[in-house]
Amino acid sequence: MSLPLITTPMTKLLAPSVMYALGWALLHFLWQGLALAALAATAMALCRRAPVRYLIGVSALVLMLAAPVATALFYSQQYSAEAAAVTRAAAFFAGPVPEKPLTAAAPVAGNTSNAENSASRDSAWRKMAFPWLVEMWLLGVALFSLRSAGGFLLLERERRRQSHGVSARMLAICRTLERRLGLDRAIAYCECQWLEVPAVIGWFRPVVFLPVTVLTGLSEEQLESIIAHELAHIRRLDAFVNAFQVCVETLLFYHPAVWWLNRRIRAGREHCCDEIAVAACGNAVEYARALTRLEELRSAPALAMAANRGPLTERIVRVLGLKTFGDGRRGIGLTASLLCLAAALVAGSALLGIAHAKPAIVLAQAKPALESQTAASPAEATRASKPSPAHAPRAEQAPSTASSASLSSSSSSSYIEGLKAAGLTDLTADQLIVLKIQQVTPEYVREIQAQGLHPNAEKLIAMRVQGISPEYIRELHAENLNPDLDQLIALKIQGVDAGYDRGIKNAGLQPNVNELITMKVQGVTPEFVRELREAGLALSADDVIAMKVQDVTAAYLKAMRNLGLQPDASNLIAMRVQNVTPEYLHEIQALGLKPTANELISMRVQDVTPAYIKALQAAGLKGDVNDIISAKVQDVTPEFIDQAIKHGFQNLTIQKLIQLRHLGILDPKAEL
């Protein structure tokens, strides 16, 4: 069964589920690694402290390793579930109809041949690409593993062959620094000639290597700071983190984000140790000089903790407390990180869409088994199930096998014939599978048709998925609702039943099917309608829907009526649209005006505020609501009124000011 994959020389020993899981994990890590690196870069750009940036980098690296592992586990389980789904779909006609519809399976829409072609292309692509992808990954892991193992072996050999103990005076200096840094581990110190810079090698029993060139080329104070740097690596257990980095680089070697993040972690590690070394020795300038001298001798194995690791200029600038060059580029780096994160999420969404297009694959793979069942007649199935002479020794199993095949064929034929008798002919294998899964029986089809509806296979599947029963349709008909198929499905989706319709009608409305659906979508309840009608409003279904959308409540109507306003349904809706509140009306009335509902709406449309009315009244101008609206429309502002008074106009009224504004007499161009 399942999903056979082409094997290659290195992958033929892997199980199909492992191949499937590894292939998807390697592909998904392309966007996962980019997204994690972008998040780490963003977090690092927002932080200035070296320990925090280092912790962010290590945490992101741990997530980078965890992401493909979790993805592989997920797809391994999905492979098993997919294989089981194909088996169940192919064998569905051999068993009884399930008691409940499996609503998790969505109805198949569109051209089934397109689904089959898509499934075939997807399956073929995975069969060909995944084995080669996994083989190339295994080859890369092997090569990088050999490189790392060779490096460790080389370090161990050189440590044993070309190293000897340091002098008593140097050992005393090192022990003093150990106590200063609070180290109580067993640490060895060796002089060597095969290294040119100090380095730490070893995990559980670390060894600090001090090259002869360093012992003779640095002052005692500089040497102490460099040794303190190496001891800081030991105190922070950096060797273990470095080994973890090497493992991640080996496993995820193909992603540039892993190498970029490891470089940032190693640079951050050196910054942290620099801070510890300066704090222990107390002379940042001498430490910076020591780093400069070490850069001239720069040569250390990649698997060792060396004091000259990381960009020299950046480290010296940080040690001396100067503003780093990277501070000026923080904004650019943050923007680039966010763009990379967005690109990773888009790529991940596209890849997830490809990876999880499973229904069509399952149906396409189950189709051959289904067609072989539906093509056979009961007699042919019985003949095929009879044992041949070659199988005579297994006669005990023959009766049960024949009986099972006969029942399976009979069940399939009776189901298909029943659907044909109900008017469902020319059904594809895909449609038959989903009809069977959703428990669309011939009896169900006939009961639906008895209600005056004649759905096709797709509509029947949708109705069954939504749980539409013949009883539900009869209850709607009893309420004088006669929805078509699309309306029926929409009613069920929105939870409209006979009780809801009855409650709305008892509240005084007579909505049609579409209005009923819209009312339910907008959350109109019978109580909402009843409260508005009890307030004396004559409402239609459209009015109720609009009032619910605009949040026109019985409390809002009551507040307006308490202020002397008697708006109808249309006024209430318009007032709410224009944000006419009881507080606004109260402020207008306090200024001596008594606007109607339509005037209030016009005032709000023209942005007539209480402050504007007060400004007119302060200038000695009085007028009714229409005059004030006209003044606002003509842009008669308090500044314009002051300008008119300065020009000597007396006995001004709102109408005169409107004429002055309309004629442009006070405009600067007119004065010229």
pTM: 0.48
Residue-level pLDDT at 274: 86
Of 313, 290, 319, the C-alpha closest to 198 is 290
User: What does the pLDDT average to over 128-150?
Assistant: 85
User: What share of residues in the chain are helix, strand, coil (percent, to 5)?
Assistant: 70, 5, 30
**Furthest C-alpha separation in the chain:** 127
User: What does the pLDDT average to over 60-78?
Assistant: 90
pLDDT surpassing 60 at residue 397: no
Contact of 116 with 362, CB cutoff 8 Å: no
List the structure tokens of 617. Answer: 């009244």
Residue-level pLDDT at 370: 47
CB atoms within 10 A of CB 384: 12
* pLDDT tens sequence across 8-53: 555 566 777 788 788 889 988 998 999 999 999 888 888 878 889 9
List the structure tokens of 443. Answer: 């009896």
Highest mean pLDDT among 157-171, 187-201, 302-316: 187-201
- Exposed, middle or buried by CB within 10 Å (0-12, 13-18, 19+), for 654? buried
- The residues near 400 (Cβ < 8 Å, ≥ 6 apart) are none
Residue-level pLDDT at 323: 54
pLDDT surpassing 90 at residue 58: yes
Which residue did the predictor score with more confidence, 652 or 328? 652
pLDDT surpassing 90 at residue 487: yes
Residue-wise burial string across 236-269, b where 16 or more C-beta atoms lie within 10 A, e elsewhere: bebbebbeebbebbbbbbbbebbeebbebbbbbb
Q: How confident is the model at residue 221 (pLDDT cuts 50, 70, 90)?
A: confident
* pLDDT tens sequence across 361-381: 444 444 554 444 444 444 444
Residue-level pLDDT at 317: 67
- Exposed, middle or buried by CB within 10 Å (0-12, 13-18, 19+), for 333? middle
Element (H, E) at 200: strand 199-201
Q: How far is CA 420 from CA 60, 89, 147, 454, 527, in A?
A: 60, 21, 69, 13, 47
Mean pLDDT score of the chain, rounded to an integer? Answer: 78
Of 456, 454, 458, 457, the C-alpha closest to 473 is 454
Residue-level pLDDT at 298: 57
User: What does the pLDDT average to over 631-638?
Assistant: 86
pLDDT surpassing 60 at residue 339: yes
3-state secondary structure of 667: coil
Element (H, E) at 67: helix 50-90
Query: Distance between terminal CA atoms of the chain?
Result: 95
Q: Report the C-alpha gap between 529 and 506 in whole angstroms.
A: 10
Domain ranges of the chain: 1-92+113-128+330-375, 162-322, 403-465, 606-671
Q: How confident is the model at residue 406 (pLDDT cuts 50, 70, 90)?
A: very low
DSSP state of 211: E
Relative to beta strand 207-211, strand 188-192 is parallel
Which residue did the predictor score with more confidence, 424 or 115? 424
